[in-house]
Structure 1
Amino acid sequence: MPGGPPGADGRLADTVVVSNRGPLAFQFKDGRPVAGPVGGGLAGSLAPLLLGTGATWVASTMEAADRQASAEGLMVADGLRLEMVEPDPEVYSLAYNVVSNAALWFCHHHLFDAPRRPYNGRQWGEAWDAYRELNQQFAARVAKVAPEGGRVLVQDYHLALLGSELAGLRPDLRTVHFTHTPFADASVLRMLPTATTNELLEGMAGFDACGFHTARWAEAYGRANDELRPRHSSPEGAPHPSGSEPPTPRLFVSPLAPDPEELRQSVESSEVSRARDQLDELIGADDRSVLVRVDRMELSKNLLRGFLAFDELLESEPHLRQRVVFLAMAYPTRESLAEYVGYRNEVEALVDRVNERWATDDWTPILLDVEDDYPRSLAALTRADALLVNPIRDGLNLVAKEGPLVNRRDGVLLLSREAGAFEELGGPALELNPFDVAGTAAALAQALAMEPEERAGRAAALRRLITARAPTDWLDDQLRAAG
């Protein structure tokens, strides 16, 4: 890759990053594709680390506007070489919506409703074929653009089969897979068709190394690999040499950290300042305590139990009525799945019931905001006296790290022990069992009654732990794992 892309310093010219979503998302405006940043999530975390490095980023065109932008040569990012995979829309829909979102996400987060789901009917075979085809298309593009002996960093469960595919196409490459979700226990992986589980584990075993945010998820993968992966067949179905064990990737743990300076600049922006003023008006009385949560409207985030716990708090602690407001930022996601549409309806109905039960003329207990508004979410985090992060199961949860960094009130972090971030932050946070509504209500009462000295000590300890790692450490760990 002589010279590298414009604006690049070339330090990662031998590196190919691969993810489902790239650093740009296009929408049609007046019939033309117009670029905008992808916002948060994986791509939002990766982009600042890669811009200007000369790395190649391989991603898919997800929507019609992306496909047109790619055809017109508009997929350009400063100091990055963007390579787009352009799958057939039907193939992509099956791979992304049916397999990745409705099966693998549910599997790794232990969200299956066993009496009803997964169904694994005839459509599953077609969907899994599409998932395999999409992974093969990604592998072909990576094999074409990667330099000799290059490093390939593959991100997340959408692309779990690339390890075995690339091992066959380009054995010279040094490949790493990083899983951003939890990894399912073997008992839950068994709920997928056996052939699917086998192919999934064989695909991941083709990588040189596999990374996870916590030791817990790495150990879950290791146990599943030991328990479920066929001992005597290769990805092509041929037996491994007699007496030999199939290859196993090296495992490593690398929790992602937020960028304190980037957060500081965002919090000091005029947009966040305006949003904070607007929230202050909604909160009302200056002496009211503020409970905050910032999430997607995602089944694994456990919003229903959080609101039920707040309802129990108001019932058991009458002195808190009219003295506390729950700011809940929960923007919709995956609305193509019926479960998510139904979940949003349940959440909004529960919030209405709690507000109808307790509200007064000048006090609304729960202020639910379903708009994806980053400045407003940051403003809420700065204002929190207590931050509720109670997922059923979560690979990491960056809000648990970002909140304490931007907070200005020594806010108490209430953190689910099922969040990956608990492995780092469980000491100074208040521990939650996310399934225990009464226990969560009691923890909320404890947080709101905590003495200033204890609040300050816990907040300072959280900041020390969160800033012990830099965002670049996470990328560097993957590069080291690649060798």
Structure 2
Amino acid sequence: MSSAEGAPLVLVSNRGPVTFQEDGEVKRGGGGLVTALTGLASHRDAIWIASAMTEQDIAVSDEHGGRPFTAELPDGGSYKVRLVASDPGAYDRFYNVFANPMLWFIQHYLWDLSNAPDIRREEVEAFEFGYNVVNEDLARAVLEEIDGQEEPVVMAHDYHLYTLPGLVRRERPDAFLHHFIHIPWTQPDTWRVLPTRIRREIYEGLLANDIIGFHTRSYQRNFLQCCRDLMDLEVDFERGIVFWHEHEVWVRAYPLPIDADATRAVARRPRTAEFEGELLRRRREHLILRVDRADLSKNVLRGFTAFDVFLEQHPEFRERVTFVAQLMPSRTDVPEYAEYLERIEAVVAVVNHRHGTPDWMPIHLKLRDDLEEAVAAYKNYDVLLVNAMFDGMNLVAKEGPLVNERAGVSILSENTGAHEELGEFALSVNPFDIQELADSIHAALTMSPEERKRRLEGLKGIVTQRDPGDWIDEQLADIRKKERGDGT
């Protein structure tokens, strides 16, 4: 039996499916990556290795002798997990100095290169004694879990673990290594920010994989181009192959779908209905919605500025439209993010002061992460705004149209991964063009009911074509093909 069909998959990521709280509560891990992988873990027999995030995570891991254990979630589902505790100082360097912001900023084009970054000893040591240490800790756990298995399959995830595959490959040349990257892959020049030695170590770690997956063909092409231009490697762009030490690395695009049934189930929850009732009591004639993390890449400030311009240029919409923005504070211990959240609140205050009236607040800002509240708003928006500067996929762009009941129009940045699939039925925008965004808000709010319905039905059709099981099966099928030595 092929190892892709036989032994348990070993998943490895920074965040796991669960995190344990001091009061004993078990919470689902946050973020889109966890959402994607919970589908994979429930679809296949899998051991999920991840970093311990809290003191209680460490305590629970210790209770199980650092070995895998079954974690039950309150809302159903159970996962076989192994939580790995790293030295706190090393983890801080890994996450807060190197992975975020260094790699995240590179892979979202966020650096203002005339001002930042300044790479000094702190950043270099954060890579050596932080990023590499955590990768080594997780690699050691992977090697223990696959010990004794013939041709095991290891699936690593995202930008936190670029050097892990090389560590596993060195000890287990027979292992099948697959790496999925959930954020954009940028063009070669952005990577020249990194010192050459660090950049080479990252690429060599990734090229130890058999298959590297991305959300879009655009990111796939960028990675191939980086391998050619930065590593001077032979690359087959047509077949998606990098030739590395007599080893063929397949580079593929697997767009991440949403779990439509699960999203619809949330839309039917009583708590969602409570939020919906409150929303409907307070809504004006039109509702614009955004649901995001308060991340620099999400371009929240330009979204609010465009709304400001729209109200200035179309005063007939004043007191008729409300912009609801549900933002989850993100990485507030990173100075750039704390400052960004302050700037968001300041811009909202300015727009509300400039256009508001005693009984109408143009922007309603909610700084919290609440799934039922977000889905209640999904059902009732007239315009869904997703104007990220760059985004790996953006699942909001898929979830919103799926459950929307008002023929809502999607305004979608051309630089999101989701645009490659959804662009035909959305209003596409350049996320840096504030006037175009303001014009798109006006176009969406004045669009005919027939056109609104046509676009929403088109989006729903695309969003429901594939589910997370298909996403997993596509990757497992490629694993089996490559194991058999089939062509591409």
Determine whether 1:100 maps to 2:94: no
- Change in Cα spacing, 1:158 to 1:451, as seen in structure 2 (3 Å) is same
SS of the residue aligned with 1:115? coil
Q: Any conservation in 2 of the 1:328–1:367 contact (CA below 8 Å)? A: yes
Q: Is it true that 1:466 corresponds to 2:466 in the alignment?
A: no
Change (3 A) 1:310 1:23: same
Distance 1:279 1:12, change over 3 A: farther
- Match for residue 366 of structure 2? 369
Return the alpha-carbon distance in structure 2 between the equivalents of residues 227 and 103 of structure 1: 21
Q: In the alignment, what sits opposite 1:379? A: 376
1:367-416: CA deviations, max 9, x gaps?
A: 00001111111111111001000000001000000000011101000000
Matched, 1:51 2:45: no
Moved over 6 A (4+): none
Mapped pair 1:348 → 2:345: yes
The residue type paired with residue 16 of structure 2 is G
- 1:52: how far off? 7.0
Unaligned runs of 5+ in 2: 73-77, 235-242, 481-488
Q: Which residue of 2 aligns with 1:27?
A: 21
Equivalent-residue separation in structure 2 for 1:136 and 1:306 (angstroms): 41
Matched, 1:188 2:190: yes
Identity %: 38
Whichever residue aligns with residue 437 of structure 1, its letter is I
Is 1:70 the counterpart of 2:61? The answer is: yes
Deviations, residues 323-362 of structure 1 (Å, cap 9, x unaligned): 1110111110000111101101111000000000111122
Matches of residues 219-368 of structure 1 in structure 2 within 5 Å? 219-229=221-231, 247-283=247-283, 285=284, 288-368=285-365
Match of 2:237 in 1: none
Output the CA distance in 1 between the equivalents of 2:246 and 2:43: 39
Structure-1 residue corresponding to 2:485: none
AA partner of residue 86 (structure 1): A
Change (3 A) 1:247 1:117: farther
Structure 1 position 128 matched with structure 2 position 122: no
AA aligned to 1:223 is Q
Using the TM superposition, give the Cα deviation of residue 36 of structure 1 relative to its aligned residue in structure 2, in angstroms.
1.4
1:84 aligns with 2:83: yes
Kept after mapping to 2: 8 A contact 1:293/1:327: yes
Q: Residues 51 and 83 of structure 2 are in contact (CA less than 8 Å); yes or no, is this contact kept in structure 1?
A: yes
Match of 1:454 among 448, 451, 475: 451
SS of the counterpart of 1:322? coil
Q: How many aligned residue pairs are there?
A: 458
Tell me which moved more, 258-267 or 389-398. Answer: 258-267
Contact 2:107/2:185 (8 A) holds in 1: yes
After the TM superposition, which of the residue ranges 351-360 and 473-482 deviates more from structure 2? 473-482
Deviations 1:261-288 (A, max 9, x none): 11111101011101111222332x4xx1
SS in 1 for 2:287: strand
Q: Secondary structure at the match of 1:427?
A: helix
Structure 2 counterpart of 1:16: 10
1:318 is displaced (CA, Å) by: 1.2
Asked if the contact 1:25–1:38 (Cα under 8 Å) also holds between the matched residues in 2, the reply is: yes
* Conservation of the 8 A alpha-carbon contact between 2:61 and 2:82: no
SS in 1 for 2:288: strand
The TM-score normalised by the length of structure 1 is 0.91
Counterpart Cα distance in 1 of 2:272 and 2:25: 25
Displacement of 1:482 in angstroms is 2.5
Structure 1 residue identity aligned to 2:391? D
Question: What's the offset of the Cα at 1:245?
Answer: 5.6
CA offsets 1:208-254 (integer angstroms, 9 cap, x no match)? 0100000000111111111112659xxxxxxxxxx986645101111
TM-score (norm 2): 0.91
> How far does residue 196 in structure 1 lie from its aligned partner after superposition?
1.1
The alpha-carbon deviation at position 313 of structure 1 amounts to 0.5
1:177 maps to what in 2? 179
CA distance in 2 between counterparts of 1:63 and 1:184 reads: 32
Deviations 1:112-134 (A, max 9, x none): 12122221111112100121121
Alpha carbons 2:43, 2:469 under 8 Å: kept:
no
Per-residue displacement from partner, 1:416-462 (whole Å, max 9, x unpaired)?
A: 00001000001010000000000100000000000000000000010
Correspondent of 2:150 among 137, 148, 151: 148
Q: Which region of structure 1 is more displaced relative to structure 2, 396-405 or 117-126? A: 117-126
CA spacing shift, 1:475–1:313, aligned 2, 3 Å: same
Match of 1:41 in 2: 32
Q: Which whole-Å deviations, capped at 9, do the CAs of 1:135-193 have from their partners, x for residues lacking one?
A: 12211211111232111111001001122111111111111000000012111100111
The change in CA–CA distance for 1:25 and 1:376 in structure 2 (over 3 A counts) is: same
CA distance in 2 between partners of 1:391 and 1:26 (Å): 31
Q: Which residue does 1:236 correspond to in 2?
A: none
Corresponding residue SS for 2:323: strand
Q: What secondary structure does 2:405 align onto?
A: coil
CA distance, structure 1, for counterparts of residue 391 and residue 217 of structure 2: 13
1:275–1:127 distance in 2 versus 1, CA, 3 Å: same
After TM superposition, the structure 1 stretch with the greater mean CA deviation from structure 2, 63-72 or 449-458, is 63-72
CA RMSD between the two structures = 1.9
> What 5-or-longer segments of structure 1 have no aligned partner?
1-9, 233-242
Q: After TM superposition, give the deviation of residue 363 of structure 1 in Å.
A: 1.1
Secondary structure of 1:255's aligned partner: coil
* Secondary structure class of the residue paired with 1:257: coil
Secondary structure of 2:40 counterpart: helix
**Structure 2 Cα separation of the partners of residues 226 and 247 of structure 1:** 15
**Cross-structure match for 1:433:** 430
Contact 2:212 2:251 (8 Å CA) reproduced: yes
